[in-house]
Structure 1
Amino acid sequence: MNLNKAPLCQAPDRVLRRPDLLLPPGATDCHAHICGPESSFPYFSGRIYTPPDALLPDYFNLLTHLGVERAVLVQPSIYGTDNRAMLAALKTFPKKLRGVAVVDSTIADAEIEALHQAGVRGLRCNIVDLADATGQLPMAMLRSLAQRIAPFGWHLEFLMHVDAFPQLQKDFHDFPVEIVIGHFGYVKAGLGIANAGFQNLCAMMREGRAWVKFTGTYRISEQAAPPYSDVNPFAEALIKANPQQIVWGTDWPHVMVKGLMPNDADLCDLLGNWIQEPALLKQILVSNPERLYDFK
């Protein structure tokens, strides 16, 4: 494998265990990545990490053990705007899979249509890299892209630290499509829930204009291993804001985890720390994904 000086990151925990939490029928993993095989789908030369192959059969085996029936594959940064690996996976199980793609802002309308037919229901934007030197969002470009995908019922998913944008609600006022933000808002747990960006996100959820993914708990926690209890206040605040705007995901294969690699069963069981009511668990794992990703 040509690492192209991008460091090799550790593989996910391959030990398959069933979680203690019983997931409802139709449970959906709304955030996972397919990586490779690198020999068939070469990685983007400008990537910042190199993952071991993380292939669809291994992923589906994991889902079976967790009790998950459907999934949303999100384009990883290692491929840039080359969505071929994700699209190949979507073609394999079109009724069980949906996709979130990464595209150039000049994408042709015909390609948007083709992606929709393939099962794509949203676009991902890496705001960690897109914010300009003044810390402002490229709103003109984002709004133009949103206007073009709005007729398809798509959303824009952002990889962003919401604490860096204390006027998030104002920035996305009258935005043409709903937005989705991963990793509980990607706020380091030590900053707490009172910071302006996170509170803006909660306000947007109350308005029904923003969604949040319960993903990547280990990416914001200051604790080395589950149960990552310092993330609990964020989960509780988001559920209080609007449980109809929350989805959950494994974040498999957990790329760029530099500390202890958690087991997916333990990560799944974190849901039981945040959600005790079966009806609410079903809403977040089944009903909300059906609405956001157009599962039939």
Structure 2
Amino acid sequence: MVNRRQWLIASGAVLGATSLMGVQKVMGKELGHMSPISFKVPANVVDSHCHIFNPVKFPYSSKRRYTPASATGEDLRKFHAAIQARFTVCVQPSVYGTDNACLLDALKQLGPDARGVAVIDKGFSGQQLDDLMGGGVVGVRINLEVGKDRNFNSAISRLEETVQTLDDRDLIIQIYAALPIIAELATRIQTQPHAVVIDHFGLAKSADGPEQEGMSSLIGLMQSRKVFVKLSGPYQISLLGPGYADTVAIGRTLVEGAPDQVIWGSDWPHTGGSERPANAKPTDVEAFRAEDEGRNFSLVKRWAPDSGLRYKLLVDNATKLFGFAAG
């Protein structure tokens, strides 16, 4: 008798029209080479941005734009043990659309030291939202970048629909959008009722420096205590190679501008490392970036040279925001 995994592979339901060899290649996310961390890691570090991919148990959406390899909760545990992180916030990746089953399964496996950020649409019922919250979800994500949506009116609509759907539930709104869009949304972000988290440095361009257009709006939102910004995925804003030294000025500006409103995230397992050819199909498996986790984590010391600021960035701010018990 053919088991479920064999049927999924044979039918292409796991990763699309992928060969058995291709599926085997994506089973598990290896840690790889890791340089020593350049600072003393405090207890109770929160990794506020990571993703779980489990295509065998939870097939990807047919509408996905890419096909990542596998990175499970067990792989995540090994990574966090290596960098001495305790708490985690798992963010629903775009390949699962609004089906949050993989996220909820991961939160169940990871236990009370994990929280989740789901993806919803305006069709979600109150009961569906309550079920997500019961499963450890503390926020919902608006992702405007996976489709490179830079339309201001679209961004307004997504934010307003999300606020309306949440219907005053105590959930964070997480926004993944380009800095100009965030700046344009500033007034609306400020006046809506939810705490807001901005992904990946607000996608400020390292090459344009701290004075670039939109940075003052972002820091103003942070100083109002309405918005938190994730210092996560330095390759998202860097034009340099590994080491990402050009992120230091942006990182320090955010930390020093609003030290109580910054949180750190690894962006594990680092999607987007492959140059996808123009004729690539969504079913072509995309390898994760080969990142030196120790070197990336050590950037924290350059963004926040003072140990007190590092503690806020790595522990205190996110512990309060996401409701972790650090005792």
Settle same-fold status: TM greater than 0.5: yes
> 1:223 deviation in Å?
0.3
Instruction: Pick from 176, 188, 195 the counterpart of residue 178 of structure 1.
Output: 195
Q: Give the 3-state SS of the residue equivalent to 2:214 in structure 1.
A: helix
CA displacement, residues 3-53 of structure 1 (integer Å, 9 cap, x when unaligned):
4489x99966533565232211111100000101x1210011111221111
Residue identity matched to 1:109: G
2:278 is matched with none
> 1:254 deviation in Å?
0.2
2:102 is matched with 85
CA displacement, residues 219-254 of structure 1 (integer Å, 9 cap, x when unaligned):
11010111x121111111111221111110110010
CA change 1:12–1:31 in 2 (3 A) is farther
CA change 1:265–1:54 in 2 (3 A) is same
1:94-105 alignment to 2 at 5 Å? 94-105=111-122
Q: Contact conserved, 2:94 with 2:146, CA < 8 A, in 1?
A: no
Stretch deviating more after TM superposition (20-29 or 137-146): 137-146
Take 2:294 and 2:187, find their aligned partners in 1: how far apart are those partners? 38
Q: Give the 3-state SS of the residue equivalent to 2:120 in structure 1.
A: coil
> 1:141 deviation in Å?
4.4
Residue identity matched to 2:39: L
Q: Contact conserved, 1:17 with 1:65, CA < 8 A, in 2?
A: no
1:206-225 alignment to 2 at 5 Å? 206-225=223-242
> 1:283 deviation in Å?
1.6
Stretch deviating more after TM superposition (21-30 or 66-75): 21-30
Take 1:188 and 1:97, find their aligned partners in 2: how far apart are those partners? 30
Residue identity matched to 1:55: T
1:270 is matched with 299
Instruction: Pick from 266, 273, 289 the counterpart of residue 257 of structure 1.
Output: 273
Residue identity matched to 2:307: P
Take 2:223 and 2:85, find their aligned partners in 1: how far apart are those partners? 28
| Structure 1 residue 71 corresponds to structure 2 residue 88 | yes
CA change 1:257–1:199 in 2 (3 A) is farther
Instruction: Pick from 240, 248, 257 the counterpart of residue 256 of structure 2.
Output: 240
Residue identity matched to 1:252: W
Instruction: Pick from 310, 314, 321 the counterpart of residue 281 of structure 1.
Output: 310
Q: Give the 3-state SS of the residue equivalent to 1:230 in structure 2.
A: helix
CA displacement, residues 141-200 of structure 1 (integer Å, 9 cap, x when unaligned):
423422553644211111111134542322423112121111101122223322332221
> 1:286 deviation in Å?
1.4
Q: Contact conserved, 2:36 with 2:294, CA < 8 A, in 1?
A: yes
Take 2:201 and 2:34, find their aligned partners in 1: how far apart are those partners? 26
Q: Contact conserved, 1:99 with 1:119, CA < 8 A, in 2?
A: yes
Q: Contact conserved, 1:12 with 1:254, CA < 8 A, in 2?
A: no
Instruction: Pick from 163, 176, 186 the counterpart of residue 169 of structure 1.
Output: 186
CA change 1:235–1:16 in 2 (3 A) is closer
- Greater C-alpha radius of gyration: 2
Unaligned residue ranges in structure 1 (runs of 5+): none
> 1:257 deviation in Å?
1.9
2:70 is matched with 53
Take 2:296 and 2:249, find their aligned partners in 1: how far apart are those partners? 17
Take 2:182 and 2:213, find their aligned partners in 1: how far apart are those partners? 8
Instruction: Give the TM-score, by structure 1 length.
Output: 0.90
| Structure 1 residue 44 corresponds to structure 2 residue 79 | no
Instruction: Pick from 7, 11, 26 the counterpart of residue 44 of structure 2.
Output: 26
| Structure 1 residue 229 corresponds to structure 2 residue 258 | no
Residue identity matched to 1:23: V
> 1:134 deviation in Å?
4.9
> 1:133 deviation in Å?
7.7
Take 1:253 and 1:57, find their aligned partners in 2: how far apart are those partners? 12
Take 1:105 and 1:130, find their aligned partners in 2: how far apart are those partners? 19
> 1:294 deviation in Å?
1.3
Q: Contact conserved, 2:201 with 2:232, CA < 8 A, in 1?
A: yes
Residue identity matched to 2:33: V
Q: Contact conserved, 2:37 with 2:294, CA < 8 A, in 1?
A: yes
CA displacement, residues 90-121 of structure 1 (integer Å, 9 cap, x when unaligned):
11232110000001222100111111111100
Take 1:129 and 1:70, find their aligned partners in 2: how far apart are those partners? 26
Take 2:17 and 2:302, find their aligned partners in 1: how far apart are those partners? 40
